[in-house]
Amino acid sequence: MSVMTSTLALQANRNNAASRPAAAAPAQRRVDSRLLLRESRELVIEHLGQEYRLRRTRNDKLILTK
């Protein structure tokens, strides 16, 4: 395959991809906070080596802190 042919093939692929409708985004995952916290008021979440705390307040609000 020559360089010109492969360049034309790449351009055709780009054009086809641009004309196709975008795929629907996957549905967001939904988790009930009661399942996460269970009976406790605080949960430690580890993310990329960092600790975050998800805390439920007396007014049943959620606070995420680092």
Domain borders along the chain are 32-66
Q: Is the pLDDT of residue 60 over 60?
A: yes
> Which amino acid, one-letter code, is at 4?
M
Query: What value does the mean pLDDT take over residues 44-64?
Result: 97
Q: Is the pLDDT of residue 36 over 70?
A: yes
Chain centroid, CA 45 distance in Å: 16
d(CA 14, CA 19): 9
Percent of the chain clearing pLDDT 70 (strictly above)? 68
Tokens 């606070």 found at = 63
d(CA 40, CA 42): 6
In CATH, which of 2.10.70.10, 1.10.3720.10, 2.40.50.100, 2.60.40.10 is domain 32-66? 2.10.70.10
| pLDDT value of position 44 | 97
d(CA 28, CA 23): 15
Q: Is the pLDDT of residue 59 over 80?
A: yes
| pLDDT value of position 42 | 97
| pLDDT value of position 15 | 61
